[in-house]
Structure 1
């Protein structure tokens, strides 16, 4: 656009399972003149999207490259195992990794966990996505461990889930390139951290210029208390009396 700049827009990437709706609503209330654009990305692609400048910030899964990105951890999710509703695991309120040792577990290519060694019996294939893995669970050929938000995202009426108390966990963070910490990024950080609209944190507030000394000398004089009279007899008989003034009672004429 010649002779003018494009209108500012804040672009927020988010990975499956994260829910930016609350923060988007607050943004729209506080900054109605700056549109917020949402960009859904796969968890494995989020870093490249931010590096390439296609988004200003993102709700991503940890870890991130701290040599390039800043990140504010938001929460850590419960890990759950997704099972058919008639599976024996549903009899328990929660399970351990050891309880899954004899189960066929899918390990999708987009798995967000950093397993030292995936538990359970290896599946016949690695599904491309978590959604594909859950479809296979519904077919009764195995189970899958995912963050709870992904179990809810891909909910099916014939499936349920149980917490896995000792499984790895997935953390969610707000992340952005450290060298691209713009005013709009600071505004969104303030919203995510729950700062009020009048908070002094975030963008640096304008500092009032200090008053010059001596600019209102008259006011300073007006604030000074009046001098007190000294000596016996007040002003007439004290040290401040005019010279030649007679002290005491006047003589009576004879």
Structure 2
């Protein structure tokens, strides 16, 4: 069975909207056309993908499985199109993604000297897209901060660095030379608790089920604005705290907190020589947190 990528894109739109009308508007097609395409896809995969009633549209178990598989498949297709288009134009470009707080100058300069005919581009990533940029072909390699979903990737450790607590300047713990993770048990964490399991295990708001929702934060700047406003605290790598210093936010070292691991990642199925060359160089340079 050959899956039609266009039908898969239609399916993903409906699965994300859970509404055929909104999905049709998003895709700029008529709703009857979308419905026919989804029925055709169901015939091809020999499974019902949606349960439709007058009140709601829901994914079936088969639909949920297809959604999990369709997203990386479509991202890989997009990445292939990008790379083929670049090759057709004769472009010799190598793109590196990197997370906030990381300085990639030494690796970039060394790679440029080794490949003087290569145009090297840089893209700053975030917690939300540091892996997505690999799967959709925006970058060739990405310098990431763990934890990430490593499925389909080759991941090579580069270095570890301490993490620190960021607090409002007038916080009761501001100015302490070091604190214990238990000192933050009463605080509201402005990030996914799973990213700081040491805090999650002792957090009062999780134990008493009084946790406030974590705002959607797309950048370090947004996170620090919330910290400065007294909305909560955050745990970030030391290099990020050093790079984004501001007078209304203080950083304090924390005992009992695992370091952050920085790694180089690329798509596991890619075997390009340039990838291997950059990986060799990246593991040999000095990374200073």
How does the TM-score come out when normalised to structure 1? 0.66
* Cα distance per residue 1:49-91 (max 9 Å; x no partner): 2112221111012234444111111112211111233433234
Task: Please list every run of 5 or more consecutive structure 1 residues that lacks an aligned counterpart in the other structure.
Answer: 196-254
Structure 2 counterparts to residues 193-204 of structure 1, below 5 A: 193-194=283-284
Asked if residue 173 in structure 1 is aligned to residue 257 in structure 2, the reply is no
- Are 2:228 and 1:126 aligned? no
Partner of 2:31: none
Unaligned runs of 5+ in 2: 1-84
Provide the C-alpha distance between the structure 1 equivalents of 2:89 and 2:165, rounded to a whole number of angstroms: 50
Distance 1:137 1:114, change over 3 A: closer
Q: 1:44-193 maps to which residues of 2 (within 5 A)?
A: 44-102=128-186, 104-108=187-191, 113-115=195-197, 117=200, 119=203, 121=205, 124-129=212-217, 130-193=220-283
1:61–1:112: 8 Å Cα contact kept in structure 2? no
Aligned residues: 192
Distance 2:171 2:94 in 1: 45
Give the Cα–Cα distance (whole angstroms) in 1 for the partners of residues 128 and 88 of structure 2: 37
Q: Which residue of 2 aligns with 1:251?
A: none
The verdict on how the C-alpha distance between 1:108 and 1:131 changes in structure 2, with shifts beyond 3 A counting, is: farther
Contact 1:50/1:176 (8 A) holds in 2:
yes
Structure with max Cα Rg: 1
Taking a change above 3 Å as real, the CA distance of residues 35 and 99 of structure 1, as seen in their structure-2 partners, is: same
RMSD after superposition: 2.7
